[in-house]
Amino acid sequence: MMKRLENKIPPPVITLFFAAIMWGCSFLVPSVEMSLTLRLILSLVLIGLGIFFAIAGVVSFKKAATTVNPLKPETASLLVTSGVYKYSRNPMYVGLVLLLLAWNVYLSTPLSLFGIMGFILYMNRYQIKPEESALTTLFGREFIRYQSQVRRWL
């Protein structure tokens, strides 16, 4: 049953799902006192970083002329290890985590951090592990070597 979730839901949809959970959590406990200005500044910085990571990942894939579609990793034509992929095997997902972190700062509710943890756990199990399996099948030792040199997240 759970295997049916592997590579089936687009990561931005998963992000919105966990953002909604985080928003719901914000009604369950009081927020941390923080000025709106500070929350907005910190949130905007995190949004900027998130967008940077996501776009850098897409640009690297486009330059390599390989698929950006996370639902079909088996269609990758090239293993991308340059650019932002020197630092993270999943910079687009790092970007989504940073967007959720920005949302958490804006909500200023510590309980909503569980939404970020849920997102990471979901992505590791249902998105990243199947991708890694497909990439190991496609690129073998080259991907295994890359995995040993570059972290999954950061």
> For 18-58, how does the pLDDT look when each residue is reduced to its tens digit (9 = 90+)?
999 999 999 998 889 999 999 999 999 999 999 999 999 99
Q: Mean pLDDT for the chain?
A: 95
Cα separation, 113 vs 131, whole angstroms: 25
Domain membership of residue 117 (yes or no) is yes
Q: Looking at residue 131, what is its pLDDT?
A: 96
Our count of domains for the chain comes to: 1
How confident is the model at residue 1, as a pLDDT? Answer: 56
Percent of the chain scoring above 90 in pLDDT: 94
**118 assigned to some structural domain:** yes
How many residues in the chain?
Answer: 154
Task: Evaluate whether 75 touches 131 at the Cβ level (below 8 Å).
Answer: no
Distances (CA, A) of 140 to 38, 79, 86, 109: 47, 10, 18, 43
Specify the pLDDT at position 4.
84
Range of the domain at 39: 12-24+34-66+78-149
Query: pLDDT at residue 84 above 60?
Result: yes
72 located within any domain: no
